[in-house]
Amino acid sequence: MARTGFHLSMGGGQEKAVCYASDAGCSTVQIFTHSPRSFSFSPLDVEKTRKLVSMWKEHSIGPIYSHCNYLINLASPDSKQFYGSVATVKKELEYARAFGCDYFVLHVGKHKDSGAQAGMERIAKGINSIKDTIKATKVMILLETVAGQGTEIGQKFEELGALIEMFDKDIQEYIGICLDTCHIFAAGYDIRTKESVEKVIGNIESTFGTKRIRLIHVNDSKGDLGDNLDRHEHLGKGKIGLAGLKAFLTHPKIKDIPMVLETPVDEDIDQVKDLKVLNGFFA
């Protein structure tokens, strides 16, 4: 069975967080290595992060995924924002390695009406320019599929496939995809029935390919098919529904990829409930 878990808040301290994830039954988790709404990083506490890495191992939780800061936009036509984003991604990779993360989930970016092609060229230029850090940290960058809000790049799988081709050959092994079930549904990929799931898998195979997918964000969707709304919902409470989510996630080409929930959290127990539903798909 696939490794499953949820986005883990580290706010209450790392010992508490790891024990909580373990008790809840997580075999993988996603974290933020710093505040997701600020470009500032607190200095690395080597002793503390070493302890964290050993705790992940002790509790058999892994792989660990780091999710990007929300302010990063590598597709931005504003050069200050572009270079700030490149510097932040570099730092993100170093922090991800220190926190024990083999993967870094990246929001691809918004071209802000400068055109998708120009935006994609900037993303590729930015990532190619930090290849030394990528190779040194060995952290794989996962491009996250998008709902297609505003000028987001990557609504179509073809676009993500084309973007991947724009990265230099010697870092191709460090580029993957994080597929979000809510986002692809909002972007117009119907995963509500076995038949439609088959079609979507075909779309993936003819573009970036299922082998590139190293993480699935499992979310139901508040918005409808093709609404371009990035609004996550508890499994079975949204417009995709349990049958569709199960058909997609248990598909032979998908079922072994690690899965992390990003469903709404009003109380801690919400994540635990959704994790039970997700694990139930494989029972």
Q: How far is the CB of 283 from Zn ion (least distance, A)?
A: 27
Smallest distance, Zn ion to C-beta of residue 30, A: 9
Tell me which residue has tokens 């990063």.
Answer: 72
* Rounded distance between C-alpha atoms, residue 225 and residue 240, angstroms: 8
Q: Provide DSSP, 130-144.
A: THHHHHHHTPEEEEE
Residue number, 22 or 76, with CB nearest to Zn ion: 76
Identity of the residue, 106 or 164, whose beta carbon is nearer to Zn ion in the bound complex:
106
Q: What are the backbone dihedrals phi and psi of residue 240, each rounded to the nearest 5 degrees, phi first?
A: -80, -50
Angle at 120 between CA 115 and CA 126, to 5 degrees: 130
Instruction: Provide the minimum distance between the beta carbon of 139 and Zn ion in the complex, in angstroms, as a whole number.
Output: 16
- Residue numbers at the binding site for Zn ion (CB under 5 A): 144, 230
Which one, 134 or 229, has the nearer CB to Zn ion?
229
Q: Which residue is nearest to Zn ion (CB)?
A: 230
H-helix or E-strand spanning residue 126 = helix 116-128
Token pair in block for residue 64 = 């660990």
Q: DSSP letter string over 53-109?
A: HHHHHHTT---EEEEPPTT--TT-SSHHHHHHHHHHHHHHHHHHHHTT-SEEEE---
* Residue closer to Zn ion (CB basis): 29 or 55: 29
- CB-wise, 152 or 159, nearer to Zn ion? 152
Minimal distance in Å, beta carbon 57 to Zn ion? 26
- Nearest approach in angstroms of CB 5 to Zn ion is 15
